[in-house]
Each structure stands twice: as C-alpha cells, then as structure tokens.
Amino acid sequence: MRSAYEALAKGDPSFADAFDDNIVWHESTAGFEGVYHGRDQVMALFGKLIEQTGVQITGIAIHDVLATDDHAVILHEDTLTKQGRTYVAKYADVYNMRNGKATEHWHLAVDPKGDAEFFAGS
C-alpha cells in the first residue's frame, strides 16, 4: 500500500494495481459520496473528482501504514491545489486486504467540513 500511495503522489496510474478487480470503494468526499464497485468505477471516480472539482493533488505525505495480512490503514496528509489556493487535508484510509490486494476501502477525512469547503471553492 505504501508503494501505491507513492505512485499516486507521482501521478503514476500504477497505484491502481494495489486494488482487487472487484474492490468495493466507500467514498466520503462531499458531492461524490457513495459506494463504487470494481477498479474501473474507482478509477472513473478519481477522474471525475479531478475534472469536476479542479482539485489537483500536489503532494502526499504518508505518516504511517498500519497493516496485517487482512487490513491496512494509511494515515496521510495531502496537499491539494485549486485555482491558486492550497489546502492540506488529513485522512485515514482503511482497507480490507486479500492476497496482497485491497478488496474494500473507506476514505475518512479528519476535517470533512474543511474538505467540502475547499472542494466546493469556498
């Protein structure tokens, strides 16, 4: 999972290789909340987030990776930019794992209200 986040930070789409083909993705980002099924829907979600919000990830700092064979928790801080503004967001991403692949994901923002305001352009 660490290498997947490192790839994501570089804009490398190979980060999706960490996802099982049938991953279930629980998204909490305002305006995009919902459950997405399968790697293709998850990748489409990422594209939609960038396209519709104009937000770009300009940095990801991994604070810790807590993992067993069955679960992983990634504590990270993302630097986001939009229309010349910068916002630092903190998240905990929780995964169910099987055979080294993420099968289910929950995206948990430390400050969901701040995230929603930034994504909306407030």
* pLDDT tens digits for range 5-34: 988 888 888 999 999 999 999 998 888 999
* Partners of 77 in beta bridges: 61, 90
pTM over the 0.95 mark: no
Model pLDDT for residues 51-68, shown as the tens digit of each residue: 988 888 899 999 999 999
- Whether 121 has a pLDDT exceeding 80, the answer reads no
User: Can you give the pLDDT at residue 75?
Assistant: 97
Q: Which domain holds residue 93?
A: 2-120
Number of domains comprising the chain:
1
Q: What CATH number corresponds to the domain at position 72?
A: 3.10.450.50
